[in-house]
A and B are shown apart, each in its own frame.
Chain A
Amino acid sequence: MLRLRRSGFTLAGVMIGMVLLGLIGLILVRLHLAAERGLRALRGHASLQEAFDLAAAFMTSELADVGRQGPDLDLIRAERDALAYRATRGSGLACAVGGTEVLISRERWRALRSLQAGRDSLLLLLRPRAGDSSSRWVAAPILGVGSASCEGRSSLRMGTVIDASRWTLPAPPALVPVRAFEVMEARLYASGSQEWMGARSVSSGEAIQPLTGPFSVAGSGLTYQDSTGSPAAALADIRSIDLRLAGTRPHPGVPGSVVSESLQTRLAPRNLR
């Protein structure tokens, strides 16, 4: 008797296989979607962190040189959501200082950008003609910027006004420390329905420009400490500045949900110590 042996799948086997494959596929799709949502959330966090890092780096750089000398302060106004200050735009050594001009050898000058009359001002370290002869930083406007030669070297010429009856104006070969500064304001502000951190040049009358954002600024702000770490009572007491940024953004992958981040950093400018 011939027995015919036929190999193959039964219908039930095929059905079970298909169901199992479907389940595995479903699990894989769900895993993929969850991973994608997680990735989007990570992107949201990273985006907020990047915005905060940019704000912190900007403030660190801008406030690096602020200082004080008696009643003369580089911090001009300190509020929870805004800070006005003198931001250094260049520094060097002047080879000649007169009542109407300052000459700075280019090889002894470092600047972030070209100086602009009206926008930037100078701080010069001079000695008073009377009283305590210790050097003081004297603010003077920049009325014009040009080129000149100082002791045979290519130099910057800055038109200015310095009261020669009050300050001793040294002659070559003496060198005078000079800083160029711009009055700036950094601010947390709302624009439309969004909130930003921005900055503007006060001395040039600029409108605020967004620096980083948007994010919710609830819980964000600036606080100011004195030498003991307590809240500073006056501008002159400020030794360190805490910048706190807290923000939320809509979750990119989950409607109605948000991602939140925060950053707190303490800025202690070396010349405020």
Chain B
Amino acid sequence: MNSRAGAALPMALFTIALVGALAAAALTVSRLRWLGGSRALLSASARLGAEASVDHAARRWDPFLAESLPVGGMVTGAVAGWGATDSLLRLDERLFLVSSVGERRTSDGYLLARHVARELVELSTPALTADAAVTTHGPVVVDPGAQVAGEDIVPAEWEGRCPTPDSVDLPVRYDTLSGFDRLRPVGAEDLLRWADRTVAGAVGGLGPALDPDGGCDRTDSLNWGDPGVPAGPCGPWSPIVAAESGTRLNSGSAQGLIVAPHGLELSGTARFYGVILTSGPLILLGQAAVIGAVYSDSGVTLRDQTSIQRSTCVARSVIARSARPFRRVPRGDLAGQ
């Protein structure tokens, strides 16, 4: 019997084991590098998502939602278009903290990356006070059947209660009228940019509109809030309206802040609760009525049975609801803390 022990088999096994170990080591190193790169990418993605979400929230401010939040109150993930992890915390009457959490997870929910972005947003309000029913540099013409009432009232339909507390502080008095620049820190151009509605020509049939769920349908162009039922779904809805040249409101009931650079006419049974700002003439015809305050650089004319009734309460309410995140607070970016 020929018994010859060779080294070929052990050498082959050893070589295979060595090559296998080297391949495993290379794969491990590659996987670690891939994981490291993936984590960096996911982390950057989470950070960008959070920061973009905060920016989006600050730019597309929802005054209706902000107004409904009490001081100290927070709403989370309830704002359409903001993403599921946004939150809005009201710090005081005009200061909000917008937060967003960007997360990247595996399909089974394991957290891979997380970043929190926060930003302080302060609302600015037009610098107006309703010291008079009519403030103008031009002539005021009042027909015998019309009236301008300077007595400060709370509308009877509001049951004697003003929805905006007296403590709402309007920054600067509107002492003289020499153009909209006096509205600083908010200018007319800001109000026009923020406008929720832009109207031109004849506008009639203004009134509240509800969506199928019973909420206020703010997409309806003729829905400018419900001044008749302040506690109703559209009671808090108080739009900023940009009125182009030749605009005429001729029927219906509305509230808000109208900015009309070229003048405005109210006629018929139009009834408006709020503040009207115009550089052109303001003309009231028929039975049109304004409750709040009007400002006109070019004069005010009241014909027929029209009226302008001063109401600080109404003016304060619409001005407070006209606030927008005009400025971001310096040092207000609290990302990552």
Q: Give residues in A with beta carbon < 8 Å to B.
A: 64-65, 67-70, 74, 88, 91, 93, 110, 123, 125, 132-135, 137, 170, 172-177, 179, 270-271
Contacts and interface: CB of A to CB of B under 8 A. Distances in A.
A270 B335 contact: yes
Given A173-B71, A175-B72, A135 B185 contact: no
B214 to A, nearest CB: 29
A175 B95 CA distance: 9
Contacts of A70: 330
Contacts of A175: 72, 89, 91-92, 97
Given A175-B92, A271-B333, 19 more contacts: A65-B331, A67-B330, A68-B330, A68-B331, A88-B337, A91-B337, A125-B329, A133-B172, A134-B122, A134-B171, A135-B95, A137-B331, A173-B72, A175-B89, A176-B92, A177-B120, A177-B329, A177-B332, A177-B334
A64 B336 contact: yes
A270 B120 CA distance: 13
A128 to B, nearest CB: 10
Nearest to A177: B120
B124 A179 contact: no
Given A134-B185, A177-B120, A69 B330 contact: yes
A69 B91 contact: no
Interface of B: 70-72, 89, 91-92, 95, 97, 120, 122, 124, 169, 171-172, 185, 327, 329-337
Nearest to B125: A133
A179 B332 CA distance: 11
A133 B185 CA distance: 10
A170 B93 CA distance: 10
B171 A132 contact: yes
Contacts of B336: 64
Contact of B331 (A67, A134, A173): A67
B285 to A, nearest CB: 39
30 contacts: A64-B336, A65-B337, A67-B331, A68-B330, A68-B331, A93-B91, A132-B172, A133-B171, A134-B122, A134-B171, A134-B185, A135-B95, A135-B122, A137-B330, A170-B92, A173-B71, A173-B72, A174-B72, A174-B91, A174-B92, A175-B72, A175-B91, A175-B92, A176-B91, A177-B91, A177-B95, A177-B120, A177-B334, A271-B332, A271-B333
Contacts of A135: 95, 122, 329
B337 A110 contact: yes
Contacts of A174: 71-72, 91-92
Nearest to B119: A270
Contacts of A134: 122, 124, 171, 185, 327
B184 to A, nearest CB: 9
A87 B91 CA distance: 24
Nearest to B171: A133
Contacts of B91: 93, 174-177
Contacts of A170: 92
B185 to A, nearest CB: 7
Contacts of A123: 331
Contacts of B70: 173
A267 B122 CA distance: 27
B9 to A, nearest CB: 29
Nearest to A90: B337
Nearest to B90: A175
Contacts of A69: 330-331
Contacts of B335: 270
A183 to B, nearest CB: 16
A267 to B, nearest CB: 15
B333 A270 contact: yes
B123 to A, nearest CB: 10
A91 B71 contact: no
Most chain A beta carbons < 10 A, residue from B92, B327, B331: B331
B97 A177 contact: yes
Listed from nearest, the 3 A-B pairs whose CB atoms lie closest are A173-B72, A67-B331, A69-B330
Nearest to B91: A175
A133 B169 contact: yes
A91 B169 contact: no
